Every structure is written in C-alpha cells, then in structure tokens.
C-alpha cells in the first residue's frame, strides 16, 4: 500500500536544517528531506529499468565522484584566476627574493591577496557553512605559483629557486578562516582577520627570508645575500628605490619600517576585505529574472524556519510555517527573503494539496500499476495529500508545470508529464505507469517545477510497499 510522509498521517514532517544556512540550488536547506515512515528504506541489488544506476550505493558513489570533479575544476579555475590577479598586481614583489624588502613587500602583498579569499569566504560560509574559503584559495595560489616557478623560472630561464620562491600564505589564510569560524561574523573577520592576515606575513616568511638578509661585503660594497643573488641573475628591470630603502634614507619612522608597513597594510586590507566580501556576494547570491508568469527568485528558503518546520524549495510564493498557515515569501531590495503570515490573503490563494494515489492498493513486483497525481483541494479519499507550495501568480490564469516521478528500483513511464495548473480549483489528473522490479519498500520522489523556466517548486518523497510476485507451479498450485 502507499504510505506518504505528510501531515495527514499525524506525524510532523522533519526538515534537514543547518543553523542560519540560507541554502542555495541543491545546497544545505534547499530541498527538505521528510522523515521516513516506518524507518529507513534498505537499498536493493537489482537494476531499475531505465535507471543509470544498479543500486543506491552506486548512485551515492556517482554523486560523490561528481562532487570531487566539481571541486577539482573549481580548484583549477581558482589557480588560474587568483594567480593571474596576484601576478598582475604584486607579481615582482613575489617573484624575486631581492624585491622582498622591508617596506613595499609587507605592504603590497596582503592588500592585493586578501581580495579573492574574502569573496571565497562569502561563497563557502554563507551557502555551505564551510570555513575554509581563504585556505582553499591560498593553497590554490601556492600550487599554481610553485608550478610556475619550477616550470617557467627554473625550467626555462634557469633562475635558481632561491631567487624565485613564492611567499608563504597558508598560516595567514588559516588565521582568516579561524576568525570567521569562531566569530561567525564577517565584520569581525574583516577587522581582526584582515589585520592578522597582514601582520602575519613578515614573521611567517622570516624563517625563509632571514638567511637572504645576512650582510656581505662585495668589492667594497655592503649588501645582503639577496642583493648578491639578484646582481648575478640579470633581469629586465630592477627599481633602485629598493636599494635606497635598505640603505636607510627612506626610514622616516625610525629604526625599522616593517611594523609600520604591516599595520598600514592591515588597515587598508580591512577596507579591501569589505569590498571583496560584497563582490563575492554579488556573484553568488539570489538572482531574479522576468518571465512570462512573473518574477521569480532562483533559490532561497533554507533558513525561514526552525527544526521541524517544512521549508520547501520555492522561487517566490508560499511556504508552510510551523503553525500550518501559509507564509508569504517576499523579495526585498537586498535580495534576502523574509516570511510573513498570509492569513489575510488566504482568500486570494486558497489552500490546495498535491494529491497522489494508485489504482492497486496491493501492487505486486513485475506487474504494472498506475500512479495518479493532481493538484487541487485536499482529497480525503486520496492515499497521500500534502500542502502545495503556491507560486506568485502575478495576474496570470494558468501556469505550465512539470511533474516528475522517479524511483531507483522501479520503472516509471513516462519520467515526467506536463500539467496545466489553473489559478483556482483542481488541475487535471496525470497518470504514470509504474512497474516494480523487486518486492519490498520502494521510495518515490515527486518533483514539481516550472516547465518553461525549469525552476523547482516542490520536492516530495513517499514509499510504496510492493508484494512479491506469486509463481504458478506445475499442476496449477502456487
């Protein structure tokens, strides 16, 4: 028989929730998972007709592999983008050991390198609650830099690695991520984290750099070992002001300029962090577009309720609140969705349910049965019925929806059907032909989406118990 995870059975649906996570397309909080009725469903070893997977384990493995591929490609893209940005803005101070002076090097590098980590922290933290955006970017940058230094600088032009080693950035990135993880505030991260990102640059690299700042006398001239290496490896240009700095004529603030340069860099990095945090927000937040049926948001709705509240993945419409009253999801100028009760508008958007039923209350493995679905007033005779997430109609009378039904261990024909939904009243009934390959409890999913825009409105899961097929033996006995 058909068992549906809905409020009709008396058990409150449970939504996956990650604290304060807004959720993105396919991300945390985007698609709520309803609590299984009667426990977890065990996987099957047989292949479903029309399914690319042979089992749930194989499907899970494919998803993990796809995630690894996405992360790998993202890592390679960040290597290219962050590396090009770094080389065009502070390249020479990172290329050559004799450019790593005590004034410009600790000033320029933190200001130019806090940019991409700030944007990455917004993306990873706001959407996934993963506090490793800065570390991910800095590891990608160093990976690309070491490839560049060995292949290009040493392999092609024979510059020694002692001359071209890249600046160490991982401790500063870890500090930036740890501040975000502990404070959970981008303002504190911008002030404390960015300042630490700048102040840690010189002491973190001093272990590597100290040996090159040892004094030596060459032909009656006092210089550092970095200068000697630089003089022996001629390059196209070398600014003389670095020599002047090291001789002391530009030390305006007294004995040493490192501390002053680091603090100045820290203050500027705070401003740069704020700017690039919003750059990350601009490129990874909710977007809107004008379509035939109105203006819809792509993805929000993961943080509108607390644990135990059904938050459906909706573009722009209604969701069910803890009290069971539809809550209007509205768009505000900043792109953040908020919820407000809509009891006063209940007459404009009467409650309708997604109703599902099958023609055979005791389906059997290997034998076809039909599953019917419609959207309309709650049907007490239906085997399953759950509140439908109404979109914002914007004055239109009909919306074209797509209804997809899937199950790993069952053949569903067709995989999806078109449904023309009127603004009020019941929709037409669509029918799917289902054949279960094996006996047992099969988990089905129903996806409701806008047909033209391919935007998901609602995602439901339910189970169907299928009996074993009876085999007729010789002599007419079973």
For residues 104 and 227, state if they share a domain: yes
Domain containing 364: what range? 2-10+13-54+350-466
Q: Give yes or no for residue 189 having a pLDDT over 80.
A: yes
- How far apart (Å, rounded) are the C-alpha atoms in residues 335 and 357? 39
Q: Looking at residue 81, what is its pLDDT?
A: 92
Tell me, what CATH number does 430's domain have? 2.60.40.10
Q: Looking at residue 382, what is its pLDDT?
A: 74
Exposure pattern of 140-174 as b/e (b: 16+ CB <10 Å)?
bbbebbeebbeeebeeeeebeeebbbbbbbebbbe
The residue among 283, 300, 318 that closes a domain is: 283
For residues 267 and 413, state if they share a domain: no
For residues 70 and 50, state if they share a domain: no
Residue 39, domain member (yes or no) = yes
- How far apart (Å, rounded) are the C-alpha atoms in residues 105 and 280? 26
Average the pLDDT over 272-291 and give the result: 79
Tell me, what CATH number does 196's domain have? 1.20.1450.10
Q: Give yes or no for residue 453 having a pLDDT over 80.
A: no
- Cβ-Cβ contacts under 8 Å for 143 (sequence gap 6 or more): 79
pLDDT-derived band at 349 (thresholds 50, 70, 90) equals low
Q: Looking at residue 374, what is its pLDDT?
A: 92
The residue among 283, 317, 339 that closes a domain is: 283
- How far apart (Å, rounded) are the C-alpha atoms in residues 369 and 413? 11
Answer yes or no: pTM beyond 0.75: no
For residues 126 and 146, state if they share a domain: yes
For residues 99 and 210, state if they share a domain: yes
Residue 308, domain member (yes or no) = no
> For residue range 88-108, what is the model confidence (pLDDT) as tens digits?
988 888 888 888 888 888 999
Residue 139, domain member (yes or no) = yes
Residue 317, domain member (yes or no) = no
For residues 225 and 366, state if they share a domain: no
Residue 61, domain member (yes or no) = no
For residues 255 and 390, state if they share a domain: no
- Which phi and psi (to 5°) does residue 369 adopt? -135, 160
Q: Give yes or no for residue 305 having a pLDDT over 80.
A: no
Q: Residue 207: is it exposed, middle or buried by C-beta count within 10 angstroms (0-12/13-18/19+)? A: exposed
Q: Looking at residue 244, what is its pLDDT?
A: 54
**Any idea which residue has 């309309």 for tokens?**
376
Beta carbons of 327 and 318 less than 8 angstroms apart: yes
For residues 18 and 120, state if they share a domain: no
HSE-up of residue 240 (Cα within 13 Å, Cβ side): 1
- Cβ-Cβ contacts under 8 Å for 76 (sequence gap 6 or more): none
For residues 75 and 38, state if they share a domain: no
Residue 420, domain member (yes or no) = yes
The tally of domains found in the chain comes to 2
> For residue range 411-451, what is the model confidence (pLDDT) as tens digits?
999 989 999 999 888 999 999 999 998 888 888 888 888 88
pLDDT-derived band at 242 (thresholds 50, 70, 90) equals low
Instruction: Tell me the three state secondary structure of residue 104.
Output: coil
Q: Looking at residue 240, what is its pLDDT?
A: 58
Residue 228, domain member (yes or no) = yes
Residue 428, domain member (yes or no) = yes
Q: Give yes or no for residue 171 having a pLDDT over 90.
A: yes
For residues 131 and 266, state if they share a domain: yes
Q: Give yes or no for residue 118 having a pLDDT over 70.
A: yes
For residues 93 and 188, state if they share a domain: yes
Q: Give yes or no for residue 285 having a pLDDT over 60.
A: yes
Q: What percent of the chain stands above pLDDT 90?
A: 32
For residues 31 and 119, state if they share a domain: no
The residue among 239, 256, 283 that closes a domain is: 283
């Amino acid at each position: 028989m058909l068992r549906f995870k809905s409020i009709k059975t008396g058990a409150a649906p449970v939504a996956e929730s990650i604290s304060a996570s807004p959720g993105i397309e396919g991300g945390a909080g985007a698609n709520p998972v309803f609590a299984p009725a009667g426990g977890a469903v065990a996987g099957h070893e047989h292949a479903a007709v029309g399914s690319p997977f042979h089992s749930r384990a194989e499907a899970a493995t494919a998803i993990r592999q796809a995630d690894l591929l996405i992360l790998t490609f993202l890592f390679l893209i960040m290597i290219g983008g962050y590396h090009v940005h770094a080389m065009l803005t502070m390249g020479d101070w990172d290329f050559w050991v004799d450019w790593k002076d005590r004034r410009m090097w600790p000033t320029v590098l933190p200001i130019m390198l806090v940019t991409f980590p700030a944007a990455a922290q917004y993306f990873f933290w706001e959407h996934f609650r993963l506090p490793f955006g800065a570390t991910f970017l800095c590891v990608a940058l160093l990976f690309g830099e070491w490839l560049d230094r060995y292949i290009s600088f040493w392999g092609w032009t024979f510059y020694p690695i002692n001359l071209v080693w890249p600046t160490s950035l991982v401790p500063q990135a870890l500090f930036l991520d740890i501040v975000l993880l502990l404070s959970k505030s981008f303002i504190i991260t911008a002030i404390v984290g960015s300042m630490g990102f700048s102040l840690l640059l010189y002491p973190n690299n001093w272990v590597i750099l100290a040996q090159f700042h040892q004094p030596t006398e060459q032909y009656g001239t006092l210089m550092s070992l970095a200068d000697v290496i630089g003089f022996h490896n001629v390059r196209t240009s070398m600014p003389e002001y670095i020599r002047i700095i090291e001789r002391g004529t530009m030390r305006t603030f007294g004995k040493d300029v490192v501390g002053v340069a680091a603090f100045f860099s820290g203050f500027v990095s705070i401003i740069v962090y704020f700017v690039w945090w919003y750059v990350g927000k601009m490129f990874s937040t909710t977007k809107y577009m004008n379509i035939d049926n109105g203006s819809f948001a792509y993805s929000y709705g993961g943080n509108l309720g607390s644990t135990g509240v059904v938050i459906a993945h909706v573009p722009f419409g209604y969701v069910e609140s803890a009290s069971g009253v539809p809550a209007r999801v509205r768009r505000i100028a900043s792109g953040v969705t908020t919820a407000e009760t809509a009891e006063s508008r209940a007459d404009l958007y009467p409650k309708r349910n997604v109703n599902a039923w099958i023609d055979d209350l005791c389906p059997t493995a290997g034998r076809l049965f039909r599953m019917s679905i419609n959207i309309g007033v709650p049907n007490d005779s239906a085997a399953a019925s759950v509140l439908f997430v109404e979109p914002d109609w914007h004055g239109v009378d009909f919306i074209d929806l797509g209804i997809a039904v899937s199950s790993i261990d069952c053949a569903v024909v067709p995989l999806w059907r078109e449904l023309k939904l009127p603004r009020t009243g019941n929709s037409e009934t669509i029918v799917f032909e289902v054949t279960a390959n094996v006996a047992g409890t099969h988990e089905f999913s129903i996806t409701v989406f806008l047909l033209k825009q391919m935007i998901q409105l609602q995602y439901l899961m339910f189970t169907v118990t299928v009996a074993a097929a009876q085999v007729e033996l010789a002599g007419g006995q079973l």
